[in-house]
Amino acid sequence: MSQIVRPVVLDRFRHVGSWALLGVVVLSACGGGDGAGSVTSYTVAGTLSGLAAGQAVALQLNAGTPLTLATNGGFVFPAALPAGSSYAVTIKTPPTGQACSVAQGRGVVTGNVTNVAVTCGAAPASGVPALVGDWVILQCTALNATSSARTLIRVAQTGETTFNWGNGLLQYASADCTGPGTVMPVVAVGSVQVNDVKTALGIAAHWGKATLVTGTSSYGVWAKRSATELCLVGDESPTLFASADAVLRAIEVAPQGMCYARLQ
């Protein structure tokens, strides 16, 4: 199994902190294990769902030849793998206008693998313009018995792949962040150069290098889970995350305090 990296929460870019399967019956291939020195091999199979009509998706098993699928349903990779070897199913080429994710796509071959699930659908909008605006953290912090606040970040585009951001507070006259909030002054924090953008089902991830107003720099992933939710994940160089799916998995197991809602 691949190692799950425990994510760290990005707070001003400082480290703080996968269907019902249609059965595909396939026989063991390439050998069988009866002869001396023979190696039993097995196939990797699964189900594709959510692919839009007229579209196609290319899947890849390890570094093998991509398998292109144009219809939903069961699939089998033609190349069998020796028993005991590792397998990894990835999206080589997504369908136009859609993003896809893979569940149960990694492991060690001990028999025919039949439970790989590839799901396609819409991905959140990506790119710097999709990040622009005011976002407030989902977690509420009580300041005293009569007031509370949520951290606010403001993203302002400065170029095709660059933006500035600042931090402030959305303050409430209640102890539980209810009622109308008041936006307090926003202080400049730094600028970000977006180096890579990847999408998958339910996420649009933006990898970037941040330069703080203090002159220091750090790395992070600005990940949208929907049009109204943005999550900030601390990173390193080279990145800790191999794909948008990996970023999404990190967010799903992380503690609260790394995701923000768009302020209307």
Does the pLDDT of residue 22 top 50, yes or no? no
The reply to whether 4 falls in a domain is no
- Quote the pLDDT of residue 33: 46
The reply to whether 165 falls in a domain is yes
The residue from 52, 86, 121 where one domain ends is 121
pLDDT 10s digits, 35-74: 445 779 999 999 999 999 999 999 999 999 999 999 999 9
Per DSSP, helices labelled H in 84-239 are none
Report pTM. 0.67
> Distance of alpha carbon 175 from its chain centroid, rounded?
33
Q: Determine how β-strand 187-200 pairs with β-strand 203-212.
A: antiparallel
The residue from 96, 121, 146 where one domain ends is 121
Contact 25, 63 (CB under 8 A): no
Tokens of 73: 């349903």
- Quote the pLDDT of residue 256: 64
The reply to whether 11 falls in a domain is no
**221 & 148 share domain:** yes
**178 & 257 share domain:** yes
- Quote the pLDDT of residue 20: 26
pLDDT 10s digits, 137-191: 999 999 999 999 999 999 999 999 999 999 999 999 999 999 999 999 999 999 9
The reply to whether 13 falls in a domain is no
Which of the pair, 72 or 249, is modelled with greater confidence?
Answer: 72
- The percent of the chain in helix, strand and coil, each rounded to the nearest 5, is 5, 50, 45
**258 & 133 share domain:** yes
**158 & 245 share domain:** yes
Q: What is the mean pLDDT of residues 194-223?
A: 94
Q: End-to-end distance of the chain based on CA atoms, in angstroms?
A: 42
Eight-class DSSP state of 128: G
**102 & 139 share domain:** no
The reply to whether 113 falls in a domain is yes
**87 & 194 share domain:** no
Q: State the amino acid at position 154 in one-letter form.
A: R
**97 & 149 share domain:** no
Cα–Cα nearest to 229, from 102, 133, 94, 119: 133
The reply to whether 213 falls in a domain is yes
Give me the residues paired with residue 67 across strands.
Answer: 59
**100 & 135 share domain:** no
pLDDT 10s digits, 61-118: 999 999 999 999 999 999 999 999 999 999 999 898 888 888 899 999 999 999 999 9
DSSP E strands, 127-180: 133-137, 141-144, 147-157, 162-172
CA 149 to each of CA 138, 144, 178: distance values in angstroms, whole numbers, following the listed order: 10, 10, 10
Distance CA 187, CA 191 (A): 12
**33 & 152 share domain:** no
Range of the domain at 52: 18-121
**How many domains is the chain built from?**
2
The residue from 86, 106, 121 where one domain ends is 121
**46 & 62 share domain:** yes
**23 & 68 share domain:** yes
- Quote the pLDDT of residue 37: 59
The reply to whether 12 falls in a domain is no
Contact 48, 118 (CB under 8 A): yes
**92 & 167 share domain:** no
